[in-house]
Homo-oligomer: A and B are copies of this chain.
């Protein structure tokens, strides 16, 4: 085995089968920069990192064919999203993301070029978020490409999902439904080119390419409000918080279950993403349904005491982040209702289940244990 000189250039068309695990690891190591707080980085039995008294830990996985298809867009977006979904979890606890370990299961025909693309996106996102990649693992698999990231963050004042109280407002950040609308068009053949522009419109025949592009980007490169949760925790404004990965209906019920309260949502005030709404007008998906049930918006769901909503809005202005009170928590066993004018109807979550619908794709990339 030759190992002279880190970062020797590899043929980008070479496959895992050509390069082997050791060659691949050497290549990846040469790409990953040292980071602050990292005493022992990649290359030993374990990484050793500086931590505080309270450490947050989360893990989330992207599986090819379940959470993404490689023809949807450039490989770097897969790497970005694999980290982003974990960043969203740390942010929803009001944590500061610090260290990531990356576990890759790779089919033998994966090329260095494709893997480099994934790492381009992953390392770019890590640099944006102040995260150091400190370790990982590479394994062969006879199955699909799988990228599993565990992210450690620093915690202090935490935002939990089990503190919602009857009378609290149900508040969401940002707009909802764009990622789910984008997913539908990707499943219909739309493709994002390497330059970030639409390379195929797929089944879409309407106008509004800007809206289509915005929704596809929302699906392939989500942008959670990463610092907002920390600001809320510092000001002690909210009773509960979680990220909207699974769709508003499913996640709101999860918060109700954790907090032992019920909740209602006013359909008239849902902040349906304007691009998703625009696509609907031109024959696209139902924007309202995408906003209510579609997942992967990675915005925040908050339980806010009514007298703190003004303070919340003051903080949100600083971050240029829309916040919308869409309903209220109430006494009673965990359940959801939807308000239409004066009427209340039972609201059933419609988050898809990977296991239950073989061949379909659930809106949430995975479920957290």
Contacts and interface: CB of A to CB of B under 8 A. Distances in A.
Interface of A: 1, 3, 15-17, 19-22, 24-25, 28-29, 39-40, 42-61, 63, 65-67, 88-90, 92-93, 95, 99, 101-103, 105-106, 108, 134-144, 146, 148, 150-153, 155, 158, 160-162, 242-243, 253, 257-258, 334, 348-349, 353-356, 358, 362, 365-369
Copies in the complex: 2
Given A144-B143, A158-B40, A369-B136, A356 B20 contact: yes
Contacts of A59: 101, 103, 135-137, 148, 150
A150 B101 contact: yes
A334 B26 CA distance: 15
Contacts of A158: 39-40, 48
Nearest to A32: B369
Given A19-B355, A134-B57, A46 B95 contact: yes
Given A54-B39, A57-B135, A353-B20, A142 B46 contact: no
B66 A55 contact: no
B369 A89 contact: no
Contacts of A134: 57
B55 A55 contact: yes
Given A46-B93, A93-B48, A57 B101 contact: yes
Most buried by B among A45, A63, A92, A105: A45
A98 to B, nearest CB: 10
Contact of A61 (B1, B139, B367): B139
Given A20-B353, A136-B369, A161-B45, A54 B60 contact: no
B47 A56 contact: yes
B142 A143 contact: yes
Given A138-B367, A150-B150, A158-B40, A46 B57 contact: yes
A367 B40 contact: no
A143 B141 contact: yes
B49 A367 contact: no
Given A20-B355, A44-B93, A45-B243, 9 more contacts: A3-B334, A43-B162, A46-B92, A50-B54, A58-B101, A59-B148, A60-B137, A61-B137, A105-B146
A358 B17 contact: yes
A49 B154 CA distance: 10
A101 B138 CA distance: 18
Contact of A355 (B89, B140, B160, B362): B140
B103 A148 contact: yes
A353 B21 contact: yes
Contacts of A88: 45
A268 B146 CA distance: 44
Contacts of A137: 59-61, 148, 366-369
A332 to B, nearest CB: 13
Contacts of A46: 56-58, 89-90, 92-93, 95, 151, 153
Contacts of A139: 61, 63, 66-67, 354, 365-367
Most buried by B among A63, A137, A257: A137
